[in-house]
Structure 1
Amino acid sequence: MTALTVVRDEPAAGTPMLDAHLVVDRAGFRLDLTLRISAGEVVALLGPNGAGKTTALRTLAGLTPLHRGHITLTGQDLDRPDTRRWTPTERRPIGVVFQDYLLFPHLTALDNVAFGPRRHGLDRHRAREVASGWLTRMGLTEHARRKPRQLSGGQAQRVALARALAVNPALLLLDEPLAALDARTRLDTRAELQRHLAAHPGATLLVTHDPLDALVLADRLVIVEHGQVVQEGDAATITAQPRTDYVARLVGLNLHRGRAAGHTVRIGSDFSLTIADRHDGEVFVAYPPSAVALYPRRPDGSPRNVWPATITGIQRHGDNLRIQLAGPIDVAADVTPAAAAHLHLVAGQPLWATVKATETRVYPAAPGDRNRVE
């Protein structure tokens, strides 16, 4: 295999390969996002629809210009409005895998992968050698002469990844790379993608709404809402201490913000939860849906945390049912199908909910937490 060599300046030790401050204004929306990614690091950008994920990716790729800020890759400015610096998309050392892959329908898999090396100056023969080597790495040698319509979803995804990597990009951008796949293909392709990303020496940004993709593939998570970062860190930190409703739902926890005084956290004006450990000041209280117990009548004895609730929704959740409850606080509870049948659970039904103080996890709410949870 003939390797494609792209000459680029490497950042100094300790300097991130990508250093970007993305400021983009649209009607009624502003993206204001700082991203730093080191060589060999995979960062997942997560957020709800409309949070700004796709705008961030398009800006890095050069498809949407910055209004302010900068994009610096391997020490070189690609986009810096204050100095009128702008690098066209085709001249950026960036590879992109789009959600729909966007393979050229009239080209074979081999020539799709060879397209980038050709654009970087290799002749047709050498570009095809590079492409053939990448198809071999992807386990697609026997599909080299097939056109995109003759490929399965998983095969097309691997061709798109090979095309992006064939130019030795300093930055690899992945836009929902597994979203178009069925569940079984997604499982197998995720494992393959993890292997290829681990071998990629450049920086990688994975844009996704799927928490499992992010947790499996990324070294670090950046959560964006309303165009701004609301939380970032490794998976263990974020799953242990979510700081917005969106993040809590992402990791499967109930979350409330309130003011603690000793063993009591006041949430809103007229509801309190008892907690196991002493805390003071603004805190988050988190607990899993499995910790919420449901009763048709107020339970006997004196459980500290008990409140009336009304069922607003019932959904399948793995082997259990997830019950959405409204009341003085909105919570989710997980119950077995047998328990649901015993309680005759239906939407609109009044119940009593409880959670033990020992089941709650409490941690301080930082002043910089942008999204208040009630």
Structure 2
Amino acid sequence: MSEIVDAHLVVDRGGFRLDVRLRIGAGEVVALLGPNGAGKTTALRALAGLQPLSAGHVTLAGVDVDRPDRPLWTPPERRPIGVVFQDYLLFPHLNALDNVAFGPRRQGADRRAARALAARWLERVGLRAYERSRPRQLSGGQAQRVALARALAVHPKLLLLDEPLAALDARTRLDTRAALHRHLAEHDGATLLVTHDPLDALVLADRLVIIEDGRVVQEGDGATITARPRTDYVARLVGLNLYRGTGDGHSVRVGADLVLTADDTVHGDAFVAFPPAAVALHPKRPDGSPRNAWPATITGLQRHGDNLRIQLDGPVTVAADVTPAAAAHLNLAPGQEVWVAVKAAETHAYPATPH
């Protein structure tokens, strides 16, 4: 896989500093995730040329487009990039056909050739029948597809997607995500997807890059990230309880008063993780004394899908998922004291420093 994007994005803005390295190959989709304020949008804007770098570089398909040390900076319209913004930003005075034809026209195509190309792209995204429609006449899903066709019509080396599904309702999002997945699979350039939604990232991307406070904290494929989170944010993202401690064989000490047992063997600085669904709650210390059992106090309850998500405090804070029937049987309520039990077989331990 040839490399399309080679970037070291360094942006100083007020008291915030973005310092992120990105490499994306041809045909590869990379998702950039992180909490609000992590620097996702700043990174996208730097790649697009909307935010000049303070240091570092942006190289696209072997050509430098931003190198502050030279100095060299290429304006957005001269970069081989297509962008789909969160709110799509379609031109309200142009119909769908002319919105898509806009990029090819800017690249020098005559009106007839640009419109013919735009018609082919609208056909590909299933909207040929809507080519005369203005943006206000389109549904959210249709507007998203027009924006995608407009971005791809310029044959970009790099496609940037800024929260492309965030403005859609749940049903439209499901259908549009599936269609977007097909179109990205056909794109032979590089794609960077900026999102806060783990499902969008896991479905659409080949690789995930997670940033917090302007830095990369973890990257890898979806299976690696979900199996071995390395920060509290990533653990919450993939729905796991995560603790850091000191391993000694099958045991990990995660606090002064708690040692967790896992099937894995680990020594030294380590993480231990388990899903909320692996947590069982009991009104008193469970019979048989599971190796991972401790007293805790309920601090909160909220609906989580078909279950209830129970927040507990004790030697460690922990989230547990229980059925409504189980919650009613135990008469669970904030302030109540219970026993937490987690099977060692469902507790995963791994080194805190990746090999």
* Within-5 A mapping of 1:1-374: 15-366=2-353
- 2:158–2:191 CA contact under 8 A, matched in 1: yes
Deviation track 1:180-202 (CA, whole Å, cap 9, x = no partner) reads 00000000000100000000010
| TM-score with structure 1 setting the length | 0.93
- Helix, strand or coil for the counterpart of 1:275? strand
Of 69-78 and 119-128, more deviation after overlay is shown by: 119-128
The number of residues matched between the two structures is 355
- Helix, strand or coil for the counterpart of 1:99? coil
Letter in 2 for 1:264: S
- Helix, strand or coil for the counterpart of 1:82? coil
RMSD value, Cα: 1.3
Describe the shift of the 1:159–1:277 C-alpha distance in structure 2 as closer, same or farther (beyond 3 A).
closer
Letter in 1 for 2:125: M
Deviation track 1:53-75 (CA, whole Å, cap 9, x = no partner) reads 00000010001000000000010
Describe the shift of the 1:251–1:68 C-alpha distance in structure 2 as closer, same or farther (beyond 3 A).
same
- 2:10–2:19 CA contact under 8 A, matched in 1: yes
Give the CA deviation at 1:367: 7.2
CA distance in structure 1 between the aligned counterparts of 2:243 and 2:230, rounded to whole angstroms: 9
Q: Which runs of 5+ in 2 are unaligned?
A: none
CA distance in structure 2 between the aligned counterparts of 1:173 and 1:125, rounded to whole angstroms: 27
Give the CA deviation at 1:275: 2.4
CA distance in structure 2 between the aligned counterparts of 1:207 and 1:63, rounded to whole angstroms: 15
- 2:140–2:168 CA contact under 8 A, matched in 1: yes
CA distance in structure 1 between the aligned counterparts of 2:236 and 2:130, rounded to whole angstroms: 41
Give every structure 1 segment of 4 or more consecutive aligned residues whose post-TM-superposition deviation is greater than 3 Å: none
Deviation track 1:96-148 (CA, whole Å, cap 9, x = no partner) reads 00000000111101111011111111111111111111001111011100100
CA distance in structure 1 between the aligned counterparts of 2:326 and 2:40, rounded to whole angstroms: 40
CA distance in structure 2 between the aligned counterparts of 1:312 and 1:148, rounded to whole angstroms: 47
Task: Give the share of equivalent positions with the same residue, in percent.
Answer: 76
Letter in 2 for 1:239: T
| TM-score with structure 2 setting the length | 0.97
Give the CA deviation at 1:348: 2.4
Q: Which runs of 5+ in 1 are unaligned?
A: 1-13, 369-374
